[in-house]
Amino acid sequence: MAVYSLPMTPARPAAAPAGSPRAVGEGGERPLLVLLDSHGIIFRSYFALRDVLTVRHTGEPIAAVFGYANTLLSVLTELHPTYVIAAWDASEDTFRKEKDERYKAHREATPDDLLPQFGRVRSMLDAFRIPVVEKVGYEADDVLGTLAAQAHEQGLEVVIVTLDTDIVQLVQPGVRVWMYRPYQRDYVMYDTEAVIERWGFEPERMVDYKALTGDTSDNIPGVKGIGEKGAKALIAQYGTIDQMLAHVAEIEPKRTRVALEQGAADALHSYEMATIVRDVPGVTLDLDAALLRDYDREAVEELFRELEFRSLIPRLPAGRRIEGA
Task: For residues 36 and 169, state if they share a domain.
Answer: yes
How many Å apart are CA 111 and CA 96, to the nearest integer? 23
Task: For residues 195 and 210, state if they share a domain.
Answer: no
Number of H helices, E strands in the chain: 13, 7
Stated as kind and residue range, the H or E segment containing 83 is: strand 83-87
DSSP SS3 for 176: strand
Which of 190, 153, 141 minimizes the C-alpha distance to 30?
A: 153
Q: 3-state SS of 131-173?
A: CEECCCECCHHHHHHHHHHHHHHCCCEEEEEECCHHHHHHCEC
How many Å apart are CA 294 and CA 263, to the nearest integer? 54
Residue ranges making up the domain that contains 242: 203-274
Q: What is the pLDDT of residue 2?
A: 58
Q: What is the pLDDT of residue 58?
A: 85
Q: What is the pLDDT of residue 104?
A: 80
Tell me the whole-structure pTM to 2 decimals: 0.88
Q: Give the gyration radius of the chain's Cα atoms.
A: 21
Task: For residues 262 and 289, state if they share a domain.
Answer: no
Q: What is the pLDDT of residue 319?
A: 61
Task: For residues 180 and 247, state if they share a domain.
Answer: no
- Residue 318 falls inside a structural domain: no
How many Å apart are CA 176 and CA 4, to the nearest integer? 15
Q: What is the DSSP letter of 291?
A: B
Task: For residues 149 and 259, state if they share a domain.
Answer: no
Task: For residues 83 and 231, state if they share a domain.
Answer: no
For 11, 103, 128, 130, 193, the CA distances from 40, given in Å and listed in that order, are: 27, 17, 20, 17, 24
CA angle 257, 263, 265 (to 5 degrees): 130
Task: For residues 56 and 160, state if they share a domain.
Answer: yes
- Residue 321 falls inside a structural domain: no
- Residue 317 falls inside a structural domain: no
Q: What is the pLDDT of residue 111?
A: 86
DSSP code per residue over 99-130:
H-TTTTTTSPPPPTTTHHHHHHHHHHHHHHT-
Q: What is the pLDDT of residue 15?
A: 32
Tell me the average confidence (pLDDT) per consecutive run of 10 residues in the chain, 325 residues long.
46 33 47 96 84 79 92 93 96 84 79 91 95 96 98 97 95 94 78 96 98 92 96 97 97 96 97 96 97 90 93 85 59
For 20, 94, 322, the CA distances from 286, given in Å and listed in that order, are: 27, 24, 18
Give the long-range contacts of residues 72-76, CB within 8 A, separation 24 or more. Answer: 72/36, 72/124, 72/128, 72/130, 73/312, 73/315, 73/316, 74/6, 74/7, 74/187, 75/34, 75/36, 75/161, 75/178, 76/292, 76/317, 76/322, 76/324
Task: For residues 161 and 252, state if they share a domain.
Answer: no
- Residue 35 falls inside a structural domain: yes
Task: For residues 187 and 207, state if they share a domain.
Answer: no
Task: For residues 181 and 266, state if they share a domain.
Answer: no
**Pair 67, 42: CB distance under 8 Å:** yes
Q: 259: domain CATH number?
A: 1.10.150.20
Beta bridge partners of 132: 86
Q: What is the pLDDT of residue 51?
A: 66
Q: 284: domain CATH number?
A: 3.40.50.1010
**Pair 147, 284: CB distance under 8 Å:** no
Number of domains in the chain: 2
Task: For residues 167 and 297, state if they share a domain.
Answer: yes
Task: For residues 172 and 224, state if they share a domain.
Answer: no
- Residue 324 falls inside a structural domain: no
Q: What is the pLDDT of residue 288?
A: 96
- Residue 320 falls inside a structural domain: no
